[in-house]
Structure 1
């Protein structure tokens, strides 16, 4: 005859098995209802491991949802501005606003996507407060960055290449290209030599549909984001004085402290808005 202690242990085991059978379907349903995150490391023999969602993820989801809504309200997709580029630009905009680098009077974001060929309109000036696109036009890249598509970038003097990253617009001046807008590069190692290189926004005759028809691409600058002659005055007047410019390009090495989503989330949730 079994001892009472053994009988008690066996009863407890049977109860535990019955409880497990009742709760397992519930636990499984939770996993089925929760989107799986990116696998951590390699999968083990028993299956892939997934990270546990963090406390910040509901906020991240809310931020992404609002960013998508703003992207939709701007009508950006119809103009060829890709969401992934817009999201990066918006993240940097919020980081720069958090740091007090941008004007409080203008909620403007200028995006240049040099992953697109020069024959396409690849510059956008976005009014984030009014939720509309002010300009969508052609823009030239640096002579040594590539032919029709910019593939190489540099921060070095006399490289005659475009520089990727975030800029803050400064003041205007009259230079060899006429009216020009100074650009302060704020990404260390990527564009922080912009001022000393005289990388500025200006107009150029080689930025036009006629030039494209004749040569199959735009002309190229010495590294400046050169604009069409019939639009550059109005664009400079609009974005001058402490607004954000993001220059995107195909460079896997590019990184920026202004792409910190935690800071962007903090700015978003402190203000309750993206602008």
Structure 2
């Protein structure tokens, strides 16, 4: 039998939790409404007995409340950011925030910034598929075009690689590093943190930079954006502002149509604990 990916297991886990939240409250209500035993004699009633059954319903309620709060906060943030209207699917948003919370819990992000950049390479290059989210202020700071790697595909990105000189985009979670001036001008280094998917990003010089081929005019002329050597290239008129905002230890997530992608940073239990313990977020 084919081994399920981490993402698939997490998806099944979420479905099971949602089903449990629907069914278990009803079961708990039946438990509370049902006598623990048949009527007993007065001589027996006078004898105190302990039972381990009484705490069951409160424990169930506590677990359900924690999971329900997590889902509710995620869904509330998604609505507050107005992301459905801006084309960011909830499942992509949920993965991105889960990874953000895991990275924050691991101490890999800048505590002074609550920025999450999401790129969805499952969308065509002709659509705006990059979002910079301010999770603290609950605002979308940027929503714009972004290019994928030359060998990842034409208008649609379908192939991804972590190999040097592949000229493909690399999926997964990144942490932004420092700026530098290179052949594309102002650029931003990216450190890939997903082993096997993007950890060669620094060595490959996969960076965030501006490019003339990332524009509506280019789309009108060629029917798609131009393509990079694997970098998430930005429009020239926005690249400075975006790099200025997200540099220095913020989270970047590149999503794509790869069903085999998995990450240790998609741990929902860690994300749940971090989110519910963080009073500043959501």
TM-score by length of structure 2 reads 0.78
- Which residue of structure 2 aligns with residue 88 of structure 1? 95
Choose which of 151, 169, 173 in structure 1 pairs with 2:176: 169
Where do residues 134-149 of structure 1 align in structure 2 (5 Å cutoff)? Answer: 134-149=141-156
Q: Would you say the 8 A contact 1:158–1:197 is kept in 2?
A: yes
Structure 2 unpaired stretches of 5+: 1-22, 31-59
Counterpart check, 1:241 vs 2:241: no
Looking at CA atoms only, which structure, 1 or 2, has the larger radius of gyration?
1
Q: Does structure 2 conserve the Cα–Cα contact (< 8 Å) formed by 1:204 and 1:228? A: yes
Q: Residues 28 and 210 from structure 1, CA distance in 2 versus in 1: closer, same or farther, beyond 3 angstroms?
A: closer
Give the alignment partner of residue 132 of structure 1, picking from 136, 139, 158. Answer: 139
Cα deviation digits, residues 215-274 of structure 1 (max 9, x gap)? 000000000000000000000000000000000000011000000001101111222354
- In 2, Cα distance between the equivalents of 1:247 and 1:216? 23
User: Superposition RMSD on alpha carbons, in Å?
Assistant: 2.1
Q: Report what 2:270 is aligned to.
A: 263
Confirm whether residue 71 of structure 1 aligns to residue 78 of structure 2: yes
Q: 1:39-87, CA deviations, whole angstroms, 9 ceiling, x for partnerless residues? A: xxxxxxxxxxxxxx89744322211100110111111111101111101
TM-score, normalised by the number of residues in structure 1: 0.80
**Matched residue, 2:26:** 30
CA contact (8 A) 2:136 2:280 kept: no
Describe the SS at the equivalent of 1:266: helix
Q: Which residue of 2 aligns with 1:103?
A: 110
CA contact (8 A) 2:177 2:248 kept: yes
How has the CA–CA distance of structure 1 residues 222 and 56 changed in structure 2, closer, same or farther, with 3 Å as cutoff? farther
After TM superposition, where is structure 1 displaced by more than 6 Å over at least 4 residues in a row? none
8 Å Cα contact 1:95-1:263 kept in structure 2: yes
Gaps of 5+ in 1: 1-26, 35-52
Q: 1:122, 1:139 within 8 Å by CA — same for their partners in 2?
A: yes
